[in-house]
Structure 1
Amino acid sequence: MSSPQAGSDNTGINQLWPPGTVRLEANKDSKTLILQPPPSDDPNDPLNWPQWRKYLNMGLVCFYVAMVAEFINAPTPTWGPMNKELGYSFEILNDSYAAGCAALGVGSLILIPFALKFGRRPIYLFSTVVQFALSIWSAKMQTVADLMLINVIQCFFSSLAESIVQMTIADVFFVHERGRMNSLYVWVWLLSSYMGMLIAGFVAKGLGWRWVWWLNVIIFGITIFLVAFAYEETKYCPPPEATVPGQLPAVEEHKWGDPEIVTVNKLKRDGSAPGDTDIVSIPAAENMPAHGVTSIKINPNIPKKTYLQKLALTTITPPSGDSNDSFIRHMYQPLILLTTVPAIAYTALVYGILVGLGDVMSTLLSSYLTIAPYNFTSDQVGLMSLPRVIGVTIGAVIVGPLSDWWIVYYSRRRDGIYDPESRLWCVVPFILFVPAGALLFGFGLNNHMPWPVVAVGLVLYNIGVTPINSLSITYLTDSYTDVIGDALVGVTLIRNMFSTAFIFALEPWIHRVGIKYVLVTILLIACLILVGFGGFIRFGKGFRERTAARYQYYAARQYKTRA
Structure 2
Amino acid sequence: MSAMKAADKLPMPDVRVAPGSDDASELFKKDVNGIVLVPQPSDDPKDPLNWPMHKKILIFTCICLAGFAGQMSPNSNQLTFVYQVPAYHKTQTDLLNSVAAGLAGWVAGPFLIIPLVAVIGRSSVVLWSLVAIFICQIWAAEMTGPNDYISFTISRLFCGLFGGIPAILGSGYIIDMFFLHQRGKAFAIFEVLIIFAVVGGGTLGGFIAEHKPWNYVFWWTLGPVGAAILAVFFFVEDTAFSRDSSMPKPPSLPESWMANRIATFLPGTRTQPSNKGSEMVKRAIIPLQITFAPITLLTGTYIFIALGLPIMQASTLATYLEPPEEAGGYGFSSLQMAFFTMTAWVGIISAQVYGFFFNDKTPLWLARRRGGTWHTEYRLANTILPSIILPIGLGIYGAGLEYHLHFMVLALGSFLIWFGALLALPVCYNYIVECFLHNPVEASVSLNAYRVSFGLMSVFIVTQWQSSVGVGWMWGIGAFLIVFVDLIMAGIILKGHLVRKWTVTLSTSIAVTEDGATISTNKGGAV
Instruction: Output the TM-score relative to the length of structure 2.
Output: 0.85
Q: Which amino acid aligns with 1:387?
A: T
Q: SS state of the match for residue 371, structure 1?
A: coil
Kindly provide the CA deviation profile for residues 468-498 of structure 1, in whole angstroms up to 9, marking residues without a partner as x. 1110011112222112222222222233322
Q: Is the 8 A contact 1:347 1:473 kept in 2?
A: no
Paired with 2:256 and 2:357, the residues of 1 have a C-alpha distance of 34
Structure 2 counterparts to residues 137-152 of structure 1, below 5 A: 137-141=139-143, 142=145, 143-152=148-157
Q: Is the 8 A contact 2:72 2:197 kept in 1?
A: yes
Shift of 1:517: 2.1
Shift of 1:303: 10
Equivalent residue number for residue 41 of structure 1: 43
Q: SS state of the match for residue 482, structure 1?
A: coil
Equivalent residue number for residue 319 of structure 1: 274
Which of 330, 352, 361 in structure 1 is aligned with 2:283?
Answer: 330
Equivalent residue number for residue 88 of structure 2: 86
Equivalent residue number for residue 365 of structure 1: 317
Shift of 1:33: 2.4
Which of 160, 165, 171 in structure 2 is aligned with 1:160?
Answer: 165
Paired with 1:151 and 1:353, the residues of 2 have a C-alpha distance of 24
Q: Does the alignment pair 1:10 with 2:13?
A: yes
Shift of 1:26: 6.0
Q: Does the alignment pair 1:351 with 2:307?
A: no
Structure 2 counterparts to residues 233-248 of structure 1, below 5 A: 233-236=238-241
Shift of 1:306: 4.0
Which of 393, 407, 412 in structure 2 is aligned with 1:451?
Answer: 407
Equivalent residue number for residue 508 of structure 2: 552
Equivalent residue number for residue 424 of structure 2: 468
Shift of 1:415: 2.8
Structure 2 counterparts to residues 241-390 of structure 1, below 5 A: 305-308=255-258, 310-311=260-261, 312-313=264-265, 314=268, 315-319=270-274, 325-339=278-292, 341-373=293-325, 374-390=330-346
Q: Is the 8 A contact 1:233 1:310 kept in 2?
A: no
Q: Which amino acid aligns with 2:15?
A: G
Kindly provide the CA deviation profile for residues 73-98 of structure 1, in whole angstroms up to 9, marking residues without a partner as x. 32022223212333231111222222
Q: Which amino acid aligns with 2:199?
A: Y
Query: Radius of gyration: which is bigger?
Result: 1
Change (3 A) 1:330 1:211: same
Q: Does the alignment pair 1:109 with 2:136?
A: no
Paired with 2:216 and 2:119, the residues of 1 have a C-alpha distance of 38
Q: Which amino acid aligns with 2:186?
A: M
Q: Is the 8 A contact 1:113 1:330 kept in 2?
A: yes
Paired with 1:393 and 1:220, the residues of 2 have a C-alpha distance of 22
Kindly provide the CA deviation profile for residues 248-303 of structure 1, in whole angstroms up to 9, marking residues without a partner as x. xxxxxxxxxxxxxxxxxxxxxxxxxxxxxxxxxxxxxxxxxxxxxxxxxxxxxx99
Kindly provide the CA deviation profile for residues 373-407 of structure 1, in whole angstroms up to 9, marking residues without a partner as x. 21111111111111101111111211232121122
Q: Is the 8 A contact 1:128 1:224 kept in 2?
A: yes
Paired with 1:5 and 1:208, the residues of 2 have a C-alpha distance of 63
Paired with 2:318 and 2:241, the residues of 1 have a C-alpha distance of 44
Kindly provide the CA deviation profile for residues 39-68 of structure 1, in whole angstroms up to 9, marking residues without a partner as x. 222212211111111111111111112212
Paired with 2:244 and 2:381, the residues of 1 have a C-alpha distance of 40
Paired with 1:504 and 1:3, the residues of 2 have a C-alpha distance of 49
Equivalent residue number for residue 223 of structure 2: 218
Equivalent residue number for residue 193 of structure 1: 198
Task: Using the TM superposition, name which of 84-93 and 386-395 deviates more.
Answer: 84-93
Q: SS state of the match for residue 72, structure 1?
A: coil
Instruction: Output the TM-score relative to the length of structure 1.
Output: 0.80
Q: Which runs of 5+ in 1 are unaligned?
A: 16-22, 245-301, 557-563
Paired with 1:304 and 1:139, the residues of 2 have a C-alpha distance of 40
Equivalent residue number for residue 100 of structure 1: 102
Kindly provide the CA deviation profile for residues 304-355 of structure 1, in whole angstroms up to 9, marking residues without a partner as x. 944346532225432369x9x342232233222322x222222322222222
Paired with 1:6 and 1:101, the residues of 2 have a C-alpha distance of 39
Shift of 1:6: 11
Q: Which amino acid aligns with 1:194?
A: V
Shift of 1:215: 1.5
Equivalent residue number for residue 407 of structure 1: 363
Equivalent residue number for residue 180 of structure 2: 175
Q: Is the 8 A contact 1:116 1:485 kept in 2?
A: no
Q: Is the 8 A contact 1:27 1:416 kept in 2?
A: no
Paired with 2:58 and 2:509, the residues of 1 have a C-alpha distance of 35
Q: Which runs of 5+ in 2 are unaligned?
A: 19-24, 513-527
> Higher relative contact order by CA 8 Å / sep ≥ 6: 1 or 2?
1
Which of 199, 205, 208 in structure 2 is aligned with 1:203?
Answer: 208
Q: Is the 8 A contact 1:424 1:537 kept in 2?
A: yes
Which of 352, 366, 372 in structure 2 is aligned with 1:416?
Answer: 372
Q: SS state of the match for residue 41, structure 1?
A: coil
Q: Is the 8 A contact 1:72 1:155 kept in 2?
A: yes
Paired with 1:456 and 1:211, the residues of 2 have a C-alpha distance of 30
Q: SS state of the match for residue 333, structure 1?
A: helix
Shift of 1:240: 7.9
Shift of 1:99: 2.4
Equivalent residue number for residue 519 of structure 2: none
Change (3 A) 1:117 1:416: farther
Change (3 A) 1:320 1:127: closer
Q: Is the 8 A contact 1:120 1:168 kept in 2?
A: no
Shift of 1:433: 0.9
Task: Using the TM superposition, name which of 154-163 and 133-142 deviates more.
Answer: 154-163
Q: Does the alignment pair 1:528 with 2:484?
A: yes
Q: Which amino acid aligns with 2:429?
A: I
**More helix by percentage:** 2
Change (3 A) 1:420 1:304: farther
Q: Is the 8 A contact 1:167 1:484 kept in 2?
A: yes
Equivalent residue number for residue 21 of structure 2: none
Q: Which amino acid aligns with 2:14?
A: T
Quote the RMSD (CA, aligned, Å): 3.2
Q: Is the 8 A contact 1:24 1:34 kept in 2?
A: no
Change (3 A) 1:303 1:11: farther
Change (3 A) 1:25 1:408: farther
Paired with 2:418 and 2:80, the residues of 1 have a C-alpha distance of 23
Q: Which amino acid aligns with 1:307?
A: W
Q: Does the alignment pair 1:431 with 2:387?
A: yes
Paired with 2:339 and 2:26, the residues of 1 have a C-alpha distance of 45
Q: Does the alignment pair 1:508 with 2:510?
A: no
